[in-house]
Amino acid sequence: MQVSLVPLQKKLGYQFQQQALLEQALTHRSCKGQHNERLEFLGDAILSLVIAEALYQNFPKTREGDLTRMRASLVKGVTLAEIAKELNIQEFLRLGPGELKSGGSRRESIQADAVEAILGAIYLDGGAEACRERILQWFGSRLLSIQPGVQKDSKTLLQEFLQGRRLPLPVYEVTEILGDAHDQTFTVKCTVDGMSAVIASGSSRRKAEQDCAQLVLEQLKNES
């Protein structure tokens, strides 16, 4: 049974004239029929342009390197997956039986790709300005809160902190993996010379490592 896409379009803030474009944007390559990879390619390019323009206008004195890092932070997969959840896109994804069984709708990469594909579909359906309006609406709070020079992740900041003091680099070790392949929790231990080991858990190894690094950074800064 086909799921009505009316609730999704209300969330998106956009009513499609060509419903088939939205259906294609939600269709993963594991599903029969036209999938969303070409739309994703288009949406990725449009998203990068609109975000670049917004940052260029909002930060007239910021250097190119900082603008590039800010844009990368806004258009990265983790951010797009957050937006997908805010728009409830995962409820409308069309996946093949195998991907559906393995919990693909919860996979951040699939959600992020769908956001870009939907943007590509909006561009084809309503034009550049309609697509630009949706991007600025969906990314509005993030564009307001982002600041130059704060886009480095916790692992990079910790590494730079230690290198600046000529200290050994941290060692990360996965100590436990729980759950099924599509829904795992990783526990990571971070060891830094002269400190007790710090442990954190997350839905991916990368997230757990980043959380560990953040905790270590906070401890080091409190001690210094």
Catalytic residues: 44, 116
| Phi, psi of 179, deg, nearest 5 | 100, 170
Both tokens of residue 213? 């690094």
Alpha carbon 73 to its chain's center: 8
Q: Contact, 16 vs 22, CB < 8 A?
A: yes
Which residues, 6 or more positions from 189, have their beta carbon under 8 angstroms from its beta carbon? 172, 173, 175, 197, 198, 199, 212
Question: Where does the chain have alpha helices with state H?
Answer: 6-12, 19-25, 37-58, 64-75, 77-86, 97-101, 108-126, 128-138, 140-145, 154-164, 205-223
User: In Å, what is the CA distance from 101 to each residue of 35, 60, 104, 113?
Assistant: 18, 48, 7, 19
Both tokens of residue 199? 């442990």
